[in-house]
Amino acid sequence: GGSSSASSVKQVKLERESELRIEVGNETPLKLRLLNGSAEIFGSELAPETWLTFPPRVKFAVFTWYGATIEMDGATETDYTADETPMISYVNVNAVLDARRKRAKASSPNDSEASKGPRVIVVGPTDSGKSTLSRMLLSWAAKQGWKPTFVDLDIGQGSITVPGSIAATPIELPIDPVEGIPLEMPLVYFYGHTTPSNNVDLYKTIVNELAQMLETQFSRNAESRAAGMVINSMGWIEGTGYELLLHAIDTFKASVILVLGQEKLFSMLKAVAKNKPNVDVVKLQKSGGVVSRNAKFRQKARGYRIREYFYGLTNDLSPHSNIANFSDLLVYRIGGGPQAPRSALPIGADPVASPLRVTPVNIDRDLLHMVLAVSYAKEPDQILSSNVAGFIYITDIDIQRKKITYLAPSAGELPSKYLIVGTLTWLET
C-alpha cells in the first residue's frame, strides 16, 4: 500500500473485517469520523459522527468487524485499506481471557490462586505491535466491564509516562484513540536511562518493586485481582534482553505469554514453560500494519513523549517554571560508573561502582537539560525502593547565586526534595 500525501475531505468505505491504516502527515493534524456502521481504533469503539483530531505523525488503524464508512479531513503521509489482519486471533485471545476473569471473579476471594485473573505478558521484537496488542486487550476488557492493570516495562517507548521509567495503571474505560493511556495516578518507578543494559541490576530491582506493590494492591482489591494484568515488555529479546524477559515473566507470575511475530522466541519460551504447568505460551501473527521505526525516530519519539508530559498532547497543559536554592533539593544518582579512575585507587581495589549504590550528586551545570524524577522516598536509603511522584526538567543552573530553575507539571512545592538523576536528557523544542 501507500499513497502520496493528499489533503481535503475523503470518504472511505470499509468492508467487514478490514482496516484503514493511516500515518498522519508530519506537519498538520488529521480529523476523522465514523459516518456509518461501526469501527474501532485499537480496541476502542468510535462514537458515530464525532470528529476526532489526530496530531501529526501518529500511526493507527480504524478496524471494522461489520463494515463502516469513515470520513477524513486533512493530509496523511499514507492511508490504505487492508483486508488481511490478525484481529480475529487477537479477539479470540480476549475471549479466553474474559472466561478466565469470570472464573476468577466467581471463586472465593479467600482462595488466593483461583481468584487471580490472567496475567498476560506481550513479548516480541521491536516493532512487532506489542504496545498495540496490549492496548486492544485492555480496551476490550474495559468494554466488558473489567478493570485490568496495564503494566508497561518498556523504558524506551513506553506509553504510560516519560521514557526511562516503568509504570502501571488501572484501565477502567476503553483507551481514548487520541489521548492514549490516562495519566491519572500511575504507579511509576524511575530507571533513568533509555537502555536496560545501562544498569541491569537496577532495572531488575525496580521491576521487583513494581511487582511487589501490585501484589499488595491486588491482595486488597478482589476486583482488580480478578481482572489481572496486561504487561507490555521491551523489544530487546537477545542475550541480556532475553534474561530480563524471563525475569519479568517470573516476577509478575505471568500466566499467559503472547509471542508476536517470532518463531525462535516462541520456541524458546515454550521450552521454558514446559516446567511451568500454569503458563500458556501463545504464538500470534504480527499485523502487517505495524510501522517500523528507526533509531532516529525512536529518539525523537522519546523527546515528544517528554514534551507531552509537561505540555500535554496538544499544548493543553501549562507547566510551571520554578526556582529553588541548591540547598532545597537533594539530587541522587543510582549506580553509574566508577567513582574514581583506576589510577586514583589503591592497587587491587575494584573500580566498579556498585550498581545499586545511591550517591548524592553535586548540583552543577551537568544537570542542565536533564529530566529528574521526584522520589516519594523520605530518607535516602528508601530511594531505591520508592516509586516516584513525577518529573522535573532542569532549565537553568546559576552557580553564582546557587539557584536552580526547573519546569514542573504544576506550581507549588515538590512532593519531596529527593530527586533522582540518570542519563535522561531533553532539548526543549
Task: Report the residue from 77, 79, 127, 152 that binds ligand ATP according to the rule CB under 6 A.
Answer: 127
Beta strands in 49-127 (DSSP E): 52-54, 59-64, 68-73, 76-82, 119-123
- Residue environment code for 1-26, b if the CB has 16+ CB neighbours within 10 A, otherwise e: eeeeeeeeeeebebeeebbbbbbbbe
> Pick from 13, 31, 33, 59: which binds ligand ATP (CB under 6 A)?
59
* Interaction pattern, residues 70-109, with ligand ATP; x per rule: CB under 6 A: ----------------------------------------
Q: For residues 108 and 115, what is the distance between their CA atoms, to the nearest angstrom?
A: 6
CB of 56 to ligand ATP, least distance (A): 13
Residue 27 labelled as part of a binding site = no
- End-to-end Cα, the chain, rounded Å: 33
Q: Between residue 181 and residue 240, which ones bind ligand ATP under the rule CB under 6 A?
A: 235
The number of residues making up the chain comes to: 429
d(CA 428, CA 171): 30
- Judged by CB under 6 A, the residue of 130, 193, 225, 333 near ligand ATP is 130
Is 77 annotated as belonging to a binding site? no
Contact between 287 and ligand ATP per CB under 6 A: yes
Strand 149-152 to strand 68-73: parallel, antiparallel, or no bridges (unpaired)? unpaired
What minimum distance in Å lies between the beta carbon of 420 and ligand ATP? 24
**Which of 131, 149, 255, 386: binder of ligand ATP (CB under 6 A)?**
131
* By the rule CB under 6 A, 44 interacts with ligand ATP: no
| Annotated binding-site residue? 410 | no
Pairing of strands 76-82, 119-123: unpaired
402 is in an annotated binding site: no
Question: Which span (142-150, 245-253, 289-297, 318-326) binds ligand ATP, by CB under 6 A?
Answer: 289-297
The H or E element spanning position 204 is helix 200-220
CB atoms within 10 A of CB 71: 16
Residue 19 marked as a ligand binder: yes
Q: Is residue 59 part of an annotated ligand binding site?
A: yes
Binding mask 237-276 for ligand ATP (x = CB under 6 A): ----------------------------------------
312 is in an annotated binding site: no
Residue placing its CB nearer to ligand ATP in the complex, 44 or 287: 287
Q: Which of residues 291-310 bind ligand ATP (CB under 6 A)?
A: 291
Rounded to whole angstroms, how far apart are CA atoms 172 and 107? 22
Using CB under 6 A, which of the segments 129-137, 138-146, 356-364, 386-394 binds ligand ATP? 129-137
Residue 428: closest CA among 405, 394, 404: 394
Print burial letters for 107-140: b (CB count within 10 Å at least 16), e (below 16).
eeeeeeeebbbbbbbbbbbbbbbbbbbbbbbbbb
Give residues in contact with ligand ATP (CB under 6 A).
19, 21, 59-61, 124, 126-132, 154, 157, 235, 287, 289-291
- Residues in the annotated binding site: 19, 59, 127-132
Binding-site residues for ATP sit at: 19, 59, 127-132
